[in-house]
Amino acid sequence: MKVRPAKKFIDVSAKCSVEGMAYGQCILKNYATISKDSCQAEFSSFKSCVQKQMSGKKW
């Protein structure tokens, strides 16, 4: 079966595992009191890393 876009995307995101893990840990620390943008900083750096890995493609 051909590789679907979502799978490609998540595979690329694995290259930013350090930033990704930081975001995951932030959620893990705050999950009882989570609200919108609780982990905004961690997510931004994770997202910009993934965008860089996708040769600058923005969304």
Partner 1 sequence: MLRRTLATNAPNHQFNVFDRVAKLAQRSRFPKINPQESKKVEYLRDEVATKTIERLAFITRDLTNTLDFGSNGGNLLKNLCIPTVIPPDASTEMSQHLTQLNKDKLTIRNRISNYTMFDSSQEILHRDVHESYWDAFAGTTDRVVGDEEKFNHPVLKSDYFDSVISNLSLHWINDLPGTLANINRVLKPDGLFLGTLFGGDTLYELRTALQLAELERKGGLSPRVSPLVELNDVGTLLNRAGFNMLTIDTEEIVVGGFPDIVSVCNDLQLMGEQNAVLSRSGYLDRDLLLAANEIYKALHGEKGPDGTVTLPVTFSVIFMIGWKKSENQPQPLPRGSGQVNLKDIL
Query: What are the residues binding partner 1 (CB under 8 A)?
Result: 1, 4, 6-7, 9-11, 13-14, 20-21, 23-25, 27-28, 31, 34-39, 43, 46-47, 50, 59
**Three-state secondary structure call for residue 37:** coil
Smallest separation, CB 14 to partner 1 (Å): 7
Kindly report the number of other CB atoms within 10 A of residue 28's CB atom: 10
Smallest separation, CB 56 to partner 1 (Å): 15
Q: Nearest-CA neighbor of 19 among 52, 49, 40?
A: 49
- Tokens standing for 40? 């905004």
Which CB, 6 or 56, lies closer to partner 1? Answer: 6
